[in-house]
């Protein structure tokens, strides 16, 4: 029965998209100008949703933040923001936050990311939110080197930044979750203690653990498939070794740090099963993990929905991070 319900919901999603497309075609046939207005209105609504999405928990007060250039690449400055809680301490435990966007879009000060940073800061945690190069002209290796360099910048300048470099949780949304998982699984797999120094846990929201999952038949996101192909410079059938190499699930080992996964069951951008399979792999190696599931949530449910389940998942995420950092 549940499978039937999910199929019906999926059918509704597809039918809705086809319905909108048909309206555009009919309007364009009737009047090309009218079709153009409809198209522009759809774009405006889409952009409006992007710039108004935020976590559904309001936080009180303003939070100080500073911007730093952590490296230059291709004559472009790559920056990070540090958000501080409203308390006076010499050192703050840190959440190292990485935005999503399919590796080809998104930015650190996008409203949904800022809302996460403020929410975390309101709980007494410092947050570093990073930008990185996109997969249009760069490779996944370039993006990973940016992630690596940003984290090194924070560690190497921890005194100046008032960061406790021995108390760090890696966190990411979607593509950012993938980078966080890949960093932690790879460096624990090769037992690089320097790279993993101070990292207590990982939090990954709706992240692809196996990049080939993006191309399963039930996944309807054209954007996700395009973005993955663009970043990995080919399809999974032609570049299978590359897809396997950059898939976190293939690097899980008994050394992996504790992990929290969060995913909506109705996600049509990154399949829910990607987190299910990753959780199974963690269980196989007896890694401590938590898996928070939103049964009615889709991709980015944390900044699109305001229901009690979403709020509960956000609150449990904070408790998990604080417990990992031994911070009350």
The count of structural domains within the chain is 2
Over 60: is that where the pLDDT of 300 sits?
yes
The pLDDT assigned to 37 comes to 60
Domain shared by 66 and 44, yes or no: no
Co-location of 247 and 147 in the same domain: yes
Pair (67, 38) in one structural domain = no
Same domain, 117 and 205: yes
The answer to whether the CB of 259 falls within 8 A of the CB of 286 is no
Determine the average pLDDT of the residues in 187-197: 98
pLDDT for residue 35: 63
Q: Which residues contact 268 (CB under 8 A, 6 or more apart)?
A: 10, 13, 218, 219, 220, 221, 298, 299
For helices 175-189 and 140-156, the axis angle rounded to 10 degrees is 80
Q: Are 111 and 184 part of one and the same domain?
A: yes
| 22 in the same domain as 104 | no
Q: Which of 49, 65, 80 is the last residue of a domain?
A: 49
Range of the domain at 98: 57-325
What's the predicted TM-score (pTM) here? 0.87
**If you average pLDDT over every residue of the chain, what do you get?**
90
pLDDT tens for each residue of 255-280 = 999 999 999 999 999 999 999 999 99
Task: Check whether residue 44 and residue 68 sit in a common domain.
Answer: no
What mean pLDDT comes out for the span 51-64?
83
Q: Which tokens go with 42?
A: 């759809």
Q: How many C-beta neighbours within 10 Å does residue 44 have? A: 10
- Inform me whether the pLDDT recorded for 283 exceeds 90: yes
The model's pLDDT over 152-178, given as tens digits with 9 standing for 90+, comes to 999 999 999 999 999 999 999 999 999
Q: Are residues 162 and 33 in the same domain?
A: no
287 DSSP 8-state letter = -
Please tell me whether residues 33 and 148 are part of one structural domain.
no
Same domain, 88 and 45: no
* Among 184, 185, 238, 247, CA closest to 214: 247
Q: What is the pLDDT of residue 18?
A: 62
Q: What is the mean pLDDT of residues 55-84?
A: 93
User: What mean pLDDT comes out for the span 288-317?
Assistant: 97
Lookup: tokens for 107: 């930015």
Query: Does residue 146 share a domain with residue 36?
Result: no
Report the Cα–Cα distance between both ends of the chain, in Å, rounded. Answer: 43
Looking up residue 258, the CATH number of its domain turns out to be 3.40.50.1820
Same domain? 41 vs 86: no
> Considering only CA atoms, which of 147, 178, 144, 168 is closest in space to residue 263?
178
Q: Which residue has the higher pLDDT, 6 or 215?
A: 215
């Amino acid at each position: 029965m549940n499978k039937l319900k999910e199929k019906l919901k999926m059918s509704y999603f597809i039918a809705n998209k086809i319905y909108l497309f048909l309206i555009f075609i009919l309007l364009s046939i009737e009047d090309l100008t009218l079709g153009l207005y409809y198209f522009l209105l759809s774009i405006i609504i889409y952009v409006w949703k992007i710039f108004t999405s935020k976590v559904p928990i309001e936080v009180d007060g303003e939070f100080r933040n500073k911007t730093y250039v952590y490296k230059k690449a291709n004559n472009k400055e790559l920056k990070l923001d540090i958000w501080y809680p409203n308390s006076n301490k010499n050192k703050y435990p840190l959440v190292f936050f990485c935005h999503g966007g399919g590796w080809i879009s998104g930015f650190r000060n996008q409203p949904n990311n800022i809302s996460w940073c403020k929410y975390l800061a309101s709980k007494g945690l410092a947050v570093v939110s990073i930008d990185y190069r996109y997969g249009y002209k760069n490779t996944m290796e370039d993006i990973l080197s940016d992630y690596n360099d940003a984290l090194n910048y924070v560690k190497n300048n921890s005194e100046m930044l008032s960061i406790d470099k021995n108390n760090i949780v890696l966190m990411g949304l979607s593509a950012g979750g993938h980078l966080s998982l890949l960093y932690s699984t790879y460096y624990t797999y090769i037992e690089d203690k320097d790279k993993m120094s101070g990292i207590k846990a990982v939090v990954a929201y709706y992240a692809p653990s196996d990049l080939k999952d993006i191309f399963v038949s039930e996944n309807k996101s054209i954007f996700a498939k395009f973005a993955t192909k663009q970043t990995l410079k080919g399809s999974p059938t032609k570049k299978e070794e590359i897809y396997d190499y950059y898939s976190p699930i293939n690097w899980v080992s008994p050394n992996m740090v504790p992990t929290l996964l969060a995913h909506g069951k109705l996600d049509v951008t990154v399949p829910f099963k990607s987190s299910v399979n990753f959780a199974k792999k963690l269980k196989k190696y007896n890694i401590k993990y938590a898996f928070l599931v939103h049964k009615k949530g889709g991709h980015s449910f944390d900044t699109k929905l305001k229901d009690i389940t979403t709020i509960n998942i956000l609150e449990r995420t904070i408790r998990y991070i604080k417990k990992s950092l031994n911070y009350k």
